[in-house]
Amino acid sequence: MRTTERLILRPFQDSDLDAWAALNADPDVMRYVGGPLTRAESDREAAGINRQWETEHFGFLAIERASDGVFLGAGGLSREPWTPDTLEVGWRLAREHWGHGYATEAAAHWLAYGFTELGLPRIVSVTDTPNERSIAVMRRLGMTFDRTADLEDGGERFNATIYSITAEAFGMI
């Protein structure tokens, strides 16, 4: 378990699975990440995230609001096929929790973790080019535009915007 000023970042618990499935079934939330998931897909994703955290010490952990224990979504570091040599920071929050700075707060923690505890020299963030909300979070984190690229996820091609930041630019060196 890890904490920020307002958040608890931790592996998924059974009590998170209903809210995680609802978030993953919301077309607005999933618009830029491959579309809605079934309950079984959502549960498998949570179990895989927990296994990755246990074995690799990075992953896309649950985000809980510390003040009241509400499950907000998930975020963290992941290894994606389009950037196999660089970890990617990402986030996925339930729509009712957008606009409160939770994604930025959680992602900033994961950037610091990646640079200090994992010793990463650089971290990227990738989103569908039309996803202006995520691009705004990347900019708030101090990330800078890296490039656009046509990528494939689950057989679907999409135009991605990629931002990056180095440990030095984040102030960790």
For the chain, the domains span 2-170
Per-residue pLDDT of the chain (173 residues; tens, 9 = 90+): 999 999 999 999 999 999 999 999 999 999 998 899 999 999 999 999 999 999 999 999 999 999 999 999 999 999 999 888 999 999 999 999 999 999 999 999 999 999 999 999 999 999 999 999 999 999 999 999 999 999 988 788 899 999 999 999 998 65
Residue type, 14: D
Quick one: pLDDT at residue 41?
Answer: 97
Measure the CA–CA gap between 74 and 63, rounded to whole angstroms. Answer: 5
The whole-angstrom separation of Cα 91 and Cα 24 is: 12
Contact 148, 156 (CB under 8 A): no
- What's residue 173's pLDDT? 54
User: What pLDDT score was predicted for residue 75?
Assistant: 98
- In this prediction, residue 153 carries a pLDDT of 82
Given this model, what pLDDT does residue 148 score?
A: 97
H, E, C per residue of the chain: CEECCCEEEECCCHHHHHHHHHHHHCHHHHCCCCCCCCHHHHHHHHHHHHHHHHHHCCCEEEEEECCCCCEEEEEEEECCCCCCCCCEEEEEECHHHCCCCHHHHHHHHHHHHHHHCCCCCEEEEEEECCCHHHHHHHHHCCCEEEEEEEEEECCEEEEEEEEEEEHHHHCCC
Judge contact between 9 and 84, C-beta under 8 A: no
Tell me the chain's radius of gyration from C-alpha atoms. 15
- Domain 2-170: CATH class, spelled out: alpha beta
